[in-house]
Structure 1
Amino acid sequence: MSSPHLAVVVVTYNRSAYLADLLRSATTLTTAPWRVVVVDNASTDDTQDVLAEAAGWFDDGVLVNHRLATNTGGSGGFCEGTRVALELGAQWCWLMDDDVEILPEALERFAPAMERFQVIHGRRYDFDGSPFYWQAKFNQFLGVPLPYGLRKVFDDEGYAITNSGTFEGMLVHADVVRTIGLPDPRFFITWDDATYAWLAAQHTDVVYMDAFVLQRKREQQQVSLGVRHLNDGSALFRFHVMRNRAHVGRYFAEYGKLNRLGFALGTVLTFAKEVFRLVVVQHTLKGLGDLVRGARESRRIWRDPSWRPMDPAEVPSGPRG
């Protein structure tokens, strides 16, 4: 059985072993995806060899190998992958990183939600097999996603309405992309997925469903805070987590939802959270400079008169020709 016009969109960069495992898991789906679009972000390892071998695991034309000339980050990869999928004729894009595996009955578990909603997240297992806590909502005043907390998350039908999301498993209907535009490549990494789900939530319901569809495979250094885990972060992440606050704020402003005082407080809290991450998870203060540089770049983006949101008119309407 196949899933009509559902494209799995994977972004990968120098993690060929994880990618191979992910692609193998896609072959075990009891409902086959219509396409598997892999965006290779200019990897320098053996990713292309893995993709050449994996082409034989799927029916002709299912695996689409789309290599980029430069590394555009996760944001640029998902922008390009979504564009390619829609050009091919995808009705749904299931966006995911390369360090997950798909559970065999994932698409059957999505099917009831796909009858009702246009932006859907399933649940994930962590690398150790435990449920991964990731449900969050954007706090409108602070402009940051916060955990739901310990109260009941899902309703009696197994859904939770939210306004945030993640590209580690966000399933998006093509109509939503044509309404809000492609994922914004300017983020490079971080805040891009949460913001994209927030944009979608201004037009339609964004939901989590109480069904497991993915398992994370990459082990990370982390500390449990009860309602959530705090993972380690790279220098690149620290820079962009502060820099991209400006992109988030400008999207809020476009929709008339920006409270400047509250958003400034949210930015201070974001900085404090990243210092906490450095000290508690990574046991260092090296990295403060990355945060400061990101904050400085954020101010430049705030002042940029040429800044515009992504243009829905640039979204492909369907197959070319």
Structure 2
Amino acid sequence: MKIASVIVTFNRLEKLKLTVQKTLDEEINYLIIINNASTDETKKWLDSLLDYRLRIIHLETNIGGAGGFHVGFKEVTDNTDADWLVCYDDDAYPQKDSIKLFKSIALPKEAGSIAAAVYSPNHQIVNMNRPGINPFWHWDRVISFLFHGRKSIHIQDNMYHTEQYYEIDASSFVGYFVQTDIVKTVGLPRKELFIYADDVLYTLQVRKAGFKHYFFPTLKFIHDCNTIIQDNKTISPLWKVYYIYRNNLELYRMMAGIFFYPLALVKIFSWWRKEKHYNNPVLYKKILFTAIKDAFKKDFSKSHVEILTLCTPLDCEEKLL
């Protein structure tokens, strides 16, 4: 079994250094690094590396995490003989011997993709990387989802502490293993999403195509991430409001099917009420309205520069968390 790791990076050189070191210490066959037009010393450092497994792609413009994974997945399927690829961010890495363990596991015959358990450096479960199920594909979970929200459809804490694996529908791109033949069949991550929800949409797309997805708690990754939501009330910097809400509506469209519009209305109402938590509520609502309009029109054509023009200069700091 040959495995290719795909990492997308943007202006986080110090974290990238650790990620690359930890990855090259594993039993991988290829390491594909997509440099998303970093403006720090990332390019210089990457070009200094010497390892036969490395393939570095420097992009001329920042096309976001979604665009970076699109390029990385394509490189693996077009130009390597890897059987599986595993992807993660530049601030994440496999726990020691995780790739070796993956190669030794007797995977279910029908497994098309696998999600690892993701922890913070201090060994806490990272909530943003919790795998889960789509309640609209499991009718017994719909009511629970409507009353209890995301907690009711995510892998629970006790499931992290067993050697049993669980069938799931969706997961993040941190510690996501997928067969390269499936990528060739299903297609690449949607680059037009730029950032946010591209991973969950892709994993749902793979499941919808009929391939099984499993959570293996014995496979562990570390994610040294910073949250973008402050006290679960505001999103910072403000330009991320556009991507999060536009892409979430696209995610709900896939999840809910014929129930998309009622679900969307409930979500939009809750988002609109958050304006009171922002220093500039008028600007927040302007960006939110644009995101909603584009989501309903299925318009993903706006460039990142156009999105930044919706914001004040202070909010438009080019910092991809």
Report the TM-score range of the alignment, normalised by the length of the smaller protein. 0.7 to 0.9
**Cα distance in structure 2, aligned partners of 1:247 and 1:109:** 35
Asked whether 1:177 is paired with 2:186, we answer no
TM-score (norm 2): 0.76
Write the letter of the residue equivalent to 1:298. Answer: I
Partner of 2:242: 239
**Cα distance in structure 1, aligned partners of 2:149 and 2:198:** 12
Partner of 2:166: 160
- Identify if the C-alpha distance between structure 1 residues 162 and 52 changes in structure 2 by more than 3 Å, giving closer, same or farther: same
Deviation at 1:209, TM superposition (A): 0.9
- The structure carrying a bigger helix percent of its residues is 2
Partner of 1:51: 46
RMSD in angstroms over aligned alpha carbons? 3.4
Deviation at 1:65, TM superposition (A): 0.6
> % of aligned pairs identical?
19
Mark the runs of 5 or more structure 1 residues left unpaired by the alignment: 308-321
Residues 144-153 or 260-269, more deviating: 144-153
Write the letter of the residue equivalent to 2:10. Answer: Y
Partner of 1:215: 222
**Cα distance in structure 1, aligned partners of 2:12 and 2:31:** 17
Partner of 2:15: 18
Aligned residues: 285
- Retained in 1: the 8 A contact 2:3–2:85? yes
The SS at the match of 2:199 is helix
Asked whether 1:66 is paired with 2:57, we answer yes
Any idea what the Cα deviations from partners look like across 1:14-64, whole Å, max 9, x if unmatched?
1111111100111222xx2110000011111111122123x22x3x2x100
Any idea what the Cα deviations from partners look like across 1:190-212, whole Å, max 9, x if unmatched?
11111111111111111111124
Write the letter of the residue equivalent to 1:130. Answer: Q
- Identify if the C-alpha distance between structure 1 residues 230 and 215 changes in structure 2 by more than 3 Å, giving closer, same or farther: farther
The SS at the match of 2:118 is strand
Deviation at 1:267, TM superposition (A): 2.8
Deviation at 1:78, TM superposition (A): 0.4
- The structure carrying a bigger strand percent of its residues is 1
What is the correspondence of 1:262-301 to structure 2 with a 5 Å cutoff?
Answer: 262-265=262-265, 267-268=267-268, 271=271, 275=274, 279=277, 284-286=278-280, 289-290=283-284, 292-301=286-295
- Identify if the C-alpha distance between structure 1 residues 46 and 114 changes in structure 2 by more than 3 Å, giving closer, same or farther: farther
Any idea what the Cα deviations from partners look like across 1:95-148, whole Å, max 9, x if unmatched?
110001222211133232645422111112213232334233333268998234
Deviation at 1:160, TM superposition (A): 1.8
- Identify if the C-alpha distance between structure 1 residues 171 and 115 changes in structure 2 by more than 3 Å, giving closer, same or farther: same
What is the correspondence of 1:1-321 to structure 2 with a 5 Å cutoff?
Answer: 4-29=1-26, 32-53=27-48, 55-56=49-50, 58=51, 60=52, 62-89=53-80, 90-111=82-103, 112=105, 114=107, 116=109, 117-133=111-127, 134-140=130-136, 146-147=150-151, 148=153, 150=156, 152-153=158-159, 158-202=164-208, 203-220=210-227, 233-249=236-252, 251=254, 257-265=257-265, 267-268=267-268, 271=271, 275=274, 279=277, 284-286=278-280, 289-290=283-284, 292-304=286-298
- Retained in 2: the 8 A contact 1:252–1:258? no
